[in-house]
Chain A
Amino acid sequence: MTKEQVRQAILDILTEIAPDEDIHSISDDGNLRDQIDLDSMDFLDIVMELRKRFNIEVPEKDYEFLATMSSCVNYLFPLLGDRKLAS
């Protein structure tokens, strides 16, 4: 996966979790929590979706890396970089 594909994968997950929010307006460096009104339950959902879709386990101590779009991409890219997208 490229960084752009990782970003898209995160957007897909956010669309699932916050279906009524405007996902495409998300900026890279603003807090996700504020931009689309995510609460701690939503972050739990992101963790579950990452496990379901990519078999990635995000330990609780790493939740802070899910704060902004760019920190998510930077955190997940090394974990997903060698994955191929399912076709």
Chain B
Amino acid sequence: MARDWLKGAKQNYDTIVIGSGLGGMTSANLLAKLGHNVLLAEHHYNLGGMATWFKRKGGHVLDISLHGFPIGMIKTFRKYWSKDMADRVIQLKNIRFDNPQFSVNTTFDRVDFTDLLENHFGIMKEVIDEFFNTVREMNFYDEIKISTRDLFERFFPGRKDVWRFLMEPITYANGSTLDDPALTYGIVFSNFMSKGVFTYQGGTDQLIKEMKHEMESNGVDIRTHCLVEKIYVEDGKVKGVRINGRDIECKTVLSNANITTTIQHLVGEEHFKPEFVDEAQKVRLNTSSCQVYMGIKRGEKIDYDGDLLFSSVADEYDTDKILAKDVTSRTFSFYHPFIRPGGNRYSIVSSTNARYEDWSNLSESEYLREKEDLIQTTLDALEKYVPDIRKVADYFEAATPATFKRYTLHPKGTSFGTKFEGLKVSRELPNQIQGLFHTGSVGIIMSGWLGAANYGVIVSNEVDKLLRSLNTEASMVVTSA
């Protein structure tokens, strides 16, 4: 008989969290700390969602989304997780760009960017300062009148090299383009510019282990291999969910599954107002990714001393080219031994933005051939920086949008949730159905490790508010009876 992954689970919970991405786990942990009864259901055998890793023969540990995050993550770890986790955050100081327009090294913070913009790109200091102040002051409540293109046009007219310098890393970080609202750019860019790019010492495996431990000690009932198939709604209120064929009751559901999947498949459109259904259908998914993982042999080393390299052979920044299957632009992450102290191992991961459609319609043999081609062309490109890569590496693997879809169930394997309009739809869920909430990558600004985790906190506040008001109502009924 198949193993019962829900063995010992209770018949009802205050909150059932669907999915263990950083949004889902941060919520589960916080709600449990606030005293609620929480079940966390994850369909995969590992926790983490996109914040994940895998191990391969030869002692290779390969990270998916550990390229870097803004300094804000320290505070997020400290407040919603643990001091130990916050203390593991370290800076990546060697960020490189190499493309036909320019080759520069930077610490990727405001001071260094100001210096480069002034001395390398020849922009006037006053313009640079005003640009930084403008983007820093953009916030969530701003109207979305102007696009990032308008913003660049205003400050750096005609300077496509500067646009590339400012935009390319953000496109890699969250899939946004020049046509997205300038405020989404402003928020994410300013988060990075505040102090630079940071990573987690110990690697994703250590991070998730620590998170699991924290959640367990706060009483979260964690269940892997548990697919949530349905969210039950009655009289406009959440009643429960079906997990692996079993019904479990709950007062609130917090879905960390994709927002459109939550509405269309888990709940069902018939439970929402028609105008809302229309609005939800208009939400555009963000793009997906391809990655090539390269494991370096035990005892070998990489001489390249960059941490992150934005490399491109395209003449100028161009979203279509960045997404094209004929890859011209790649971000290389060099994982040096300091990421996992004691192991003395290196790995390199190449990431590119990609479209699901380019990978979903291939026959099995075509798919495998294309994946192999992706690996070989990536190695060709990397040889410019690590000439002996084919000699020092002994493990190669590729992931495509289809891979991301399979592991996270996100439609079209979207890596970064949705475009901006998805955020409003996500926020609106509890007004449509009492007890229904969504968290996780959405609206560009709520994506990435920091965005997803903080959004988990923002939504947990709403869940907590509702749960407490339900409890107060219940106790009033008891006293007045």
Contact = CB atoms under 8 A, between A and B. Distances in A.
A52 B76 CA distance: 20
Contacts of B461: 44, 47-48
Contact of A51 (B76, B458, B468): B468
B454 A19 contact: no
Interface string A19-54: 110000000000000000001010011011001100
Interface in B416-460: 454, 457-458, 460
A72 interface: no
A57 B467 CA distance: 13
B324 interface: no
A74 to B, nearest CB: 23
Q: Is the interface of B mostly helix, strand, loop or mixed?
A: helix
Contacts of B34: 48, 52
Contacts of A10: none
A55 interface: yes
A11 interface: no
Contacts of A19: 78, 83
B35 interface: yes
A80 interface: no
B464 interface: yes
B457 A44 contact: yes
Interface residues of A, number: 13
Contacts of A45: 79, 457
Given A17-B79, A19-B78, A41 B454 contact: yes
A40 B46 CA distance: 32
B284 interface: no
B458 A48 contact: no
Interface residues on B, range: 10 to 19
Interface in A39-81: 39, 41, 44-45, 47-48, 51-52, 55, 57
A41 B78 contact: no
22 contacts: A19-B78, A20-B78, A39-B75, A41-B75, A41-B79, A41-B454, A41-B457, A41-B458, A44-B461, A45-B79, A45-B457, A47-B461, A48-B34, A48-B460, A48-B461, A48-B464, A51-B464, A51-B465, A52-B34, A52-B35, A52-B464, A57-B465
A45 B83 CA distance: 17
Give 5 nearest A-B pairs by CB, closest first: A48-B461, A44-B461, A52-B34, A41-B454, A51-B468
A47 B457 CA distance: 12
Nearest to B86: A20
A63 to B, nearest CB: 12
A44 B468 contact: no
Interface string B58-83: 00000000000000000110110001
Interface of B: 34-35, 75-76, 78-79, 83, 454, 457-458, 460-461, 464-465, 468, 472
Nearest to B74: A20
Contacts of A48: 34, 460-461, 464
B457 A55 contact: no
Given A41-B458, A48-B34, A48-B464, 15 more contacts: A19-B78, A39-B75, A41-B454, A44-B458, A44-B461, A45-B79, A45-B457, A47-B461, A48-B460, A48-B461, A51-B465, A51-B468, A52-B34, A52-B35, A55-B472
Among B75, B460, B468, residue most surrounded by chain A Cβ atoms (within 10 Å): B75
A57 B468 CA distance: 10
Contacts of B75: 39, 41
Contacts of B76: 41
Contacts of B464: 48, 51-52
Contacts of A17: 79
A20 B458 CA distance: 22
Contacts of B458: 41, 44
B194 to A, nearest CB: 11
A21 to B, nearest CB: 11
A60 to B, nearest CB: 10
A20 B464 CA distance: 26
Among A19, A41, A44, A57, residue most surrounded by chain B Cβ atoms (within 10 Å): A41
A44 B458 CA distance: 7
Nearest to A20: B78
Contacts of B78: 19-20
A48 B461 CA distance: 6
Contacts of A52: 34-35, 464
A80 to B, nearest CB: 17
Contacts of B35: 52
B381 to A, nearest CB: 39
Contacts of A47: 461
A57 B469 CA distance: 10
A84 B251 CA distance: 31
A41 B464 CA distance: 16
A19 B457 CA distance: 18
A39 B187 CA distance: 14
A44 B463 CA distance: 13
B120 to A, nearest CB: 32
A37 B83 CA distance: 18
B48 to A, nearest CB: 22
Contacts of B460: 48
